[in-house]
Amino acid sequence: MIGKSDAVASGLRLAAGGVALRLAVALPLSRVMGDFLFGIEATDPRVYTAIAVSVGLVSVATAYVPARRAASVDPVSVLNSD
């Protein structure tokens, strides 16, 4: 049986892969988009860190809520409902 922590960990693994892929794409694109940014540097590590942390927090929330909801359902009642 999969617990809440397993479901959240699975969601976080997907989020970590997405963040890594986005960072790999964002770094080359930051040079192109640098002319459109005002007040921040295109390669400012604080911006990348803030975005990664924000995505991580949203990922935890979006993985935890369905996992908590699924864990509160009695599996026997779900299987007997058919």
Residue 30 pLDDT more than 70? yes
| Confidence band of 2 (pLDDT split at 50, 70, 90) | low
Structure tokens of 43? 């390669």
At 35-54, the pLDDT tens digits run 777 777 777 888 888 888 88
Domain boundaries, given as residue ranges, for the chain? 41-71
pTM of the model: 0.62
Please give the average per-residue pLDDT across 67-80, as a whole number: 82
Question: Is the CB of residue 56 less than 8 Å from the CB of residue 19?
Answer: yes
Where helices occur in the chain by DSSP H, the ranges are 4-33, 45-71, 75-80
Average per-residue pLDDT in the chain? 81
Residue 1 pLDDT more than 60? no
